[in-house]
Copies of this chain bind each other. A is one copy, B any other.
Amino acid sequence: MANSSTTYDDILACARSLIVNGGYNGFSYADVADVVGIRKASIHHHFPSKVDLVRTLVARYREEAKAGMVNLELQVSEPVEQLRLYVGYWEACIADASAPFCVCALLASQLPVLPEEVGVEVQAHFRYLSEWLTSVLERGARQGQLHLVSTPGDEAETFMATVHGAMLSARAYGDPKIFGAVTGQLLERLTSCFPCDENRESDGRKFYDRDEGSST
């Protein structure tokens, strides 16, 4: 029951970063053992089975995410700024490669082959994130800061999907900048109330009907 030892945390952290790279079947106890500098059997002492390890890891990830949202809401009160911080957090994680993907997003892609206990935890994260985004968007719309085209709930789903897709593209292209490009546009769309008139956050460029980056 004790989790005082740093080894316990090291195993979780190591497994997390390994999962971020290749998902549930993309790492083994041997991989973790090598990185942490411990023997394979010792991992079983802390986490009897792989399912235990990953379930714990995801549960902790979700707690951290929730804490992150709370902290974020304490830092800034404006919905727009909260979205900006949220996106900025990921932009930084991807840029410095410290956590170039959301653990739950990656695991969700493999949901059909995931142990059920892990899958449940992953799904819960999606619901939580969706609810949080819904509340932020709803508030932003009510305050007239955000311009929604659909319900806050649907907009939240689109927001989440776009962010996840942006992570995927950044990985596929091997270029962290793509994440910022996509999410920047996402925020731009939400904050510019009407395409015609500029509003406080516009950065100049607005309308295009001429291309710029199609070759290669």
Pick the residue among B109, B151, B182 that contacts A161 (CB under 8 A): B182
Residues of B close to A153: CB separation below 8 A: 211-214
Q: How many copies does the complex hold?
A: 2
Residues of B close to A199: CB separation below 8 A: none
Q: Report the separation of the CA atoms of residues A101 and B131 in the bound assembly, to the nearest whole angstrom.
A: 24
Residues of B close to A154: CB separation below 8 A: 181-182, 185, 213
Decide yes or no whether A113 CB sits under 8 A from chain B.
Answer: yes
Looking at chain A's contact residues, the main secondary structure is: helix
* Interface size of A as a range: 35 or more
The chain A residues found within 8 Å of chain B, CB to CB, are 21-23, 25-26, 101, 105-106, 108-113, 122-123, 126-127, 131, 134-135, 138, 141-142, 147-155, 157-158, 160-166, 168-169, 171-174, 178, 181-182, 185-186, 188-189, 192-196, 205-214, 216
